Chain A
């Protein structure tokens, strides 16, 4: 059974390479996108931390800014 699935009647190399390429592409795209997201989120948190009290109050008045800060690892 296992051998049949691996060999795929002689087409195993084609079938498995097509599926592997697809899954590797998915994994790479997912992690690259996740990395970009984390980087941008960290940049936001660090910029936010360097603001003075008045600016922090102004920034906090926006709901989206509070959401960004509360979701440190939401993916």
Chain B
């Protein structure tokens, strides 16, 4: 099955896709920003400060999703000994790290008007900070180690260990008494604490952020493939 996803075969698609994804991202982001900043209503308690949710929540979701993917790809890399898994994971990490930082910074900005503080050593916030450290270690390891087999083993180990933190982040608001509010949306049930007038912009912004991470992934993946081909030319 993996032979269909070999870099040599999919480069024709991955090299042309970024321009279409970029166009779609700009369209979806424009609609999302209009909804988030102008059309969606203010909250009865938080007033307009609630609009920060439209960048904070999608960024947090996607950074968690990407790290979970890094963990799964790393396990796949160990089991199937397929180096393409490591290449995909390496290409996903920069956007995941950026979304993690965005979630932390926008969360801090949101914290000031709602909780009266920029930062609290609360279970959810601290576990998100730990995730940023794992992302940092993962990206740094790719830069530090030059031996290909060694770097794949080390980065996979970091991703698998860091993945343990993903469910901790998710359930931290239920397991501990935290300043951070519990989850308002449950994808496994129709029970959501958010009104559709806020849920729709949140969904659009999440789609825009997902498109952006896809765009960066494709660009990064193509760069990595060309890097490999550069080394191939040296060996000719």
Interface of B, secondary structure class, is helix
Task: Work out how many contacts link A and B, with CB atoms closer than 8 A.
Answer: 125
Closest to B236 in A: A55
Distance from A20 Cβ to chain B, minimum over Cβ atoms (Å): 10
Total interface residues on B, CB under 8 Å, equals 48
Distance from B20 Cβ to chain A, minimum over Cβ atoms (Å): 11
Q: Which residues of chain B come closer than 8 Å to A59, judged between CB atoms?
A: 232-233, 236
Q: Check if B187 is an interface residue, CB within 8 A of chain A.
A: no
A14 touches B113 (CB 8 A): yes
Q: Which residues of chain A come closer than 8 Å to B147, judged between CB atoms?
A: none
**In the bound complex, what is the Cα–Cα distance between A65 and B231 (angstroms)?**
12
Q: A37-B219, A44-B233 are in contact. Are A74 and B19 (CB under 8 A)?
A: yes
Interface of A, secondary structure class, is helix
Total interface residues on A, CB under 8 Å, equals 40
Residue among B15, B95, B233 making CB contact with A48, cutoff 8 Å: B233
Chain A residues close to B by CB (< 8 Å): 5, 8-12, 14-15, 17-19, 21-22, 25-26, 29-30, 33-34, 36-37, 40-41, 43-44, 47-48, 51, 55, 58-59, 62-65, 67-68, 71, 74-75
